[in-house]
Amino acid sequence: MKLFLSPFKPLSYLATLAVLLVLVPLGRFYQGDGSLWTVFGGFALTVLFILAGAQWSALNQIGASFTTWMNSATLTSIVAAVALGVPTAASSIYNQFKSPYYQAYDLFLFTNGADVPWVDTNGTPYIMANAGQDTSSMAWTVLLHIAFFFVAAIVGVALGLVYASFGAGRGLITAFATFLIAVALYWATESHVDDWYTAAVGGVSAACLVTLAVSAVAFRNTRRFVR
């Protein structure tokens, strides 16, 4: 982590992460869908890691090892993904317990298929189908959030490297093309499960995989003096 974050003052990235740790998990309590807040968190991580990845050109000039730098970037991505993913997932899980209708507004939430007794606004009891949660479904929810934020961070590193190696023009083209492909794959593979049974994991996974593939190409073609 130290090498990757070395161009920045500790207070700057710690303060930024602290803001995200408040906004992303808690913002959904006040306004907006859970999915939108999670995607916002991923987008913010991508931007932050673009800024950090773009610093590679300066570190490259002073003879930094690309392998060591990438290891540092990967570790930083994992730490950021876990730090943001766990409280965000916990917020989603809590909101689902609070109201079984929440799942319709959060693509990153898993349920276990169990029915949940509920009471409408008139006090009449009824059953919400396939809206329950258990240890397994909650674990999958946490893992999906962590995986999503990790991919968002890694993509940011890749786009920063494209900018550092090839300039802003190619960086913007790569970012835009990756975004379009990811969105297209998401909508193409998203499966609508009856009664909100589970998260749209197929579409999210496909979008994450294609962005990781683009990132791998960017890593391979990065200009470096020292491996």
Q: What is the CA radius of gyration of the chain?
A: 20
- Phi, psi dihedrals of residue 167, rounded to the nearest 5°: 100, 170
Taking the chain, what is the end-to-end CA distance rounded to the nearest angstrom?
18
Tell me whether strands 116-119 and 125-128 are parallel, antiparallel or unpaired: antiparallel
Tens of pLDDT along the chain (227 residues)?
Answer: 788 888 888 888 889 999 999 999 999 999 888 988 998 999 999 999 999 988 988 888 888 888 898 899 999 999 999 999 999 999 999 999 998 888 888 888 888 878 888 887 777 788 887 788 999 989 989 998 998 899 889 989 988 888 887 776 666 666 666 666 666 656 555 554 444 445 566 667 767 777 777 777 777 777 665 55
pLDDT at residue number 81 = 96
Burial 49-72 (b: 16+ CB within 10 A, else e): bbbbbbbbeebbeeebbbeebbeb
CB-count exposure of residue 212 (10 Å: 0-12, 13-18, 19+): middle
Whole-number pLDDT of residue 121: 77
One-letter identity of residue 112: N
Three-state SS for 72-141 is HHHHHHHHHHHHHHHHHHHHHHHHHHHCHHHHHHCCCCCCCCCCEEEECCCCCEEEECCCCCCHHHHHHH
Provide the pLDDT for residue 196.
Answer: 43
What's this model's pTM, rounded to 2 decimal places? 0.85
- Contact call for residues 111 and 137 (beta carbons, < 8 A): yes
Contact 111, 197 (CB under 8 A): yes
What integer pLDDT is reported at residue 164 of this predicted model? 80
Token output for 4: 């990757």
pLDDT at position 168, please? 66
Distance in angstroms (rounded) separating the CA atoms of residues 95 and 186: 24
